[in-house]
Chain A
Amino acid sequence: MPDVALSRPGLPARMFRSLHLPLNDRFALFGLAVYAVFVLTAIFADQIAPYDPTEILYTPEYDLAADLRPGEDGFILGTTSLGRDIFSQIVHGTRSALLIGITAAFMVALIGSIVGLVSGYFGGWIDAILMRLADIAFGIPFLPFVVVLAAFLEPSIWNVVIAMALVLWRDTARVIRSQVLTLRARSYVDAARVSGSSDLKIIMRHIAPNILPLSFLYGSIAIGWAILTEASISFLGFGDPQSISWGYMLQDAFASQALAKQAYYWFVPPGICIILVVSAGFFITRGYENLLFPKLGR
């Protein structure tokens, strides 16, 4: 990388580069493109959606616009049994999906990275305690746990984020810990220690930057998990009734007999959106793995 020596890029550019985005993998690029489209849709949802997603709509003849097929009376994807515009719901669904996905992924990557760093760097009894906690987290069935949590907390999309933060840090923490174990044994870390750097400084300066791509990798897996979990929880009826999400749409369709009515236009699009976003995350992750661990590349 000769350009590094020639010009010293600004901080944003350096941070962007330190993420090592997999830009030469076709599937990863597709994934990044899907993400870009969904983020833009979420930002401009109010401009894109023709109606308020919860508004009950009427036809020009002043009848309830219920169960209209796609294209009828100008509704792109038709309407629900309550007379709401399906296309507008899909557009607004991107917001809760991305909100949940990104916050949950951030929490999982943050907690997992901190636990992994502390556990791997300090070792000893701290490591023993943290890894036993990870064992316990592995013993908790995740989706049933979110369901039980919903019994006590108000129905809200944040339950999913809380549950993920409480349980799913385990995978990230284990991987980061083993990575830290190998980093700690490197000679430059010894050199830093001998020259009097504090533990905090060694962790922040010499170890944390090297595990950043791994945290990012596990974070992007967690985005998919969060969106799938939110969809399942909303589908089971424990979601936030105030916010429109793809899981809520599927639950609404299921409860309104959309299957028997053969209303594919209602329950297929939200599923496709979920698959697109989640598989985009998978593709980006795979591109990442090939970049970070070229030996695994096959």
Chain B
Amino acid sequence: MPHLKAAASRTLQLALVLWAVVTILFLMFRLMPGNPMAAYIDPTFTAEQQQALMAQFGLDKPLWEQYFIYLGNLLQGELGQSFRYREPVAERIFTLLPNTLILTFSSLIVAYAFGILAGAYLAWRRGSAVEKAAIPLVLTTRAMPEFWLGMVLLAIFSFWLGWFPAGGTRPAGASYGSLWALYTSREFLSYLALPALTLAIYSQGLPLLLMRSNMLDVMKEDFVTMARIKGLSNWTVVVRHAARNALLPVMTSFAIAVGYQLQGNVVVETVFSWPGLGRELVRAVSASDYPLAQGAFLMIAVVVILMNLIADLLYAFLDPRVSHA
């Protein structure tokens, strides 16, 4: 079972990467200039709270001992107390994570649907005027700062035309029975539209260019020539034969794109005041809320590494020709 063995070794490899990232994070926050306890203790905490945190994270012990306590706490999902919110960091992060994931996935689904169709079309119309104009245009969207695109869309569609709200996820004072009720409400969609569109415009370039170049590769293969010789219509050849085969690598790139998108979220969430992980990371760093900053960074890193793993595994399982060397 070469597949299973390769998958296991790749998983182990990425587990080591995760451990390394966790260690780097520990060293960064412990070795920073100033009070070594600042990573977990805010001077405004009460004496009892400070004592409790000292004990919980072993802040009076030597560094190597603190490191093992830190690892143990992490495994139990214990990330400390947020300075600003006065609540456990883990709790805060898990309330924000759904917002970030919804924004990420909705924008990526739009981006991939568009990118795949447009990429296939451009491959089909290769050498045409449309293609010659489209490729530099797509490259230009990749050169845009995402937050700037967000600002322009916000200025036009929100402040000028008034079609969409300017930021947040819900009208002021509105409350919903459950998260599900919020996410399925019409207002939520109007809040989601602009940030998701911003991220989608930026992200469509990757699937589009990938789909196009895969299509061009596939169209050179024998089975496509065969289909042409059989006298099948151009449409049948392109859609039924070429596109289906070109689609595979594009789909596996989706997982990688989720990882990239989480980085873009940091700025786009800030522009649209979207209460997600990225914006919280920025605010935590600005306010020196170190436990929350560590937690938010770690959560983003975990998702990125997990997505890299999923992409690797998907790629190997879907295309057996990929070697595991």
Contacts and interface: CB of A to CB of B under 8 A. Distances in A.
Interface stretch (A46-54, A140-148, A201-209): A140-148
A129 interface: no
A237 B288 CA distance: 14
Interface residues of A, number: 48
B257 interface: no
Contact of A141 (B136, B155, B301): B301
A135 B17 contact: yes
B17 A282 contact: no
Given A141-B263, A144-B263, A279 B140 contact: yes
B88 to A, nearest CB: 20
Contacts of A232: 145-147, 266-267
A283 B147 contact: no
Given A250-B151, A262-B155, A271-B152, A139 B143 contact: no
The main secondary structure of chain B at its interface with chain A is: helix
A247 B151 CA distance: 12
Interface residues of B, number: 55
A150 interface: yes
Contact of B143 (A145, A267, A274): A274
B32 A152 contact: yes
Contacts of A139: 14, 17-18, 20-21, 301, 304-305, 308
A132 B297 CA distance: 21
Interface string A226-265: 0010011001111000000001001001100011101010
Given A138-B308, A144-B263, A267-B151, A238 B285 contact: yes
A250 B28 contact: no
Contact of A237 (B20, B142, B266, B286): B286
Contact of B290 (A151, A259, A267): A151
Nearest to B288: A151
Interface in A129-167: 132, 135-136, 138-145, 147-152
B278 interface: yes
B216 interface: yes
The main secondary structure of chain A at its interface with chain B is: helix
B263 A143 contact: yes
Interface string B277-314: 01001100110101001001100110011001000000
A282 B144 CA distance: 12
A173 interface: no
A236 B270 CA distance: 8
A143 B143 contact: no
A143 B264 CA distance: 8
Nearest to B153: A259
Contact of A236 (B17, B282, B296): B282
Contacts of B264: 143
B158 to A, nearest CB: 8
A144 B151 contact: no
Contacts of B290: 151
A286 interface: yes
Contacts of A150: 285
A269 to B, nearest CB: 11
B285 A235 contact: no
B245 interface: no
For B17, B139, B148, B262, the residue with the greatest tally of chain A CB atoms inside 10 Å of its CB is B148
Given A141-B262, A141-B300, A151-B32, 5 more contacts: A147-B281, A231-B145, A232-B147, A274-B148, A282-B142
Interface of A: 27, 132, 135-136, 138-145, 147-152, 224, 228, 231-232, 235-238, 247, 250, 253-254, 258-260, 262, 264, 267-268, 270-271, 274-275, 278-279, 281-283, 286, 298
29 contacts: A136-B17, A139-B21, A141-B297, A141-B300, A141-B304, A143-B264, A143-B266, A144-B262, A144-B266, A144-B278, A144-B300, A145-B297, A147-B282, A148-B28, A148-B285, A151-B285, A152-B28, A231-B147, A232-B146, A235-B145, A236-B270, A238-B285, A253-B151, A259-B151, A267-B155, A268-B152, A271-B152, A274-B144, A281-B143
Interface of B: 13-14, 16-18, 20-21, 24, 28, 32-33, 126, 136, 139-140, 142-149, 151-152, 154-155, 158-160, 213, 216, 259, 262-264, 266-267, 270-271, 278, 281-282, 285-286, 288, 290, 293, 296-297, 300-301, 304-305, 308
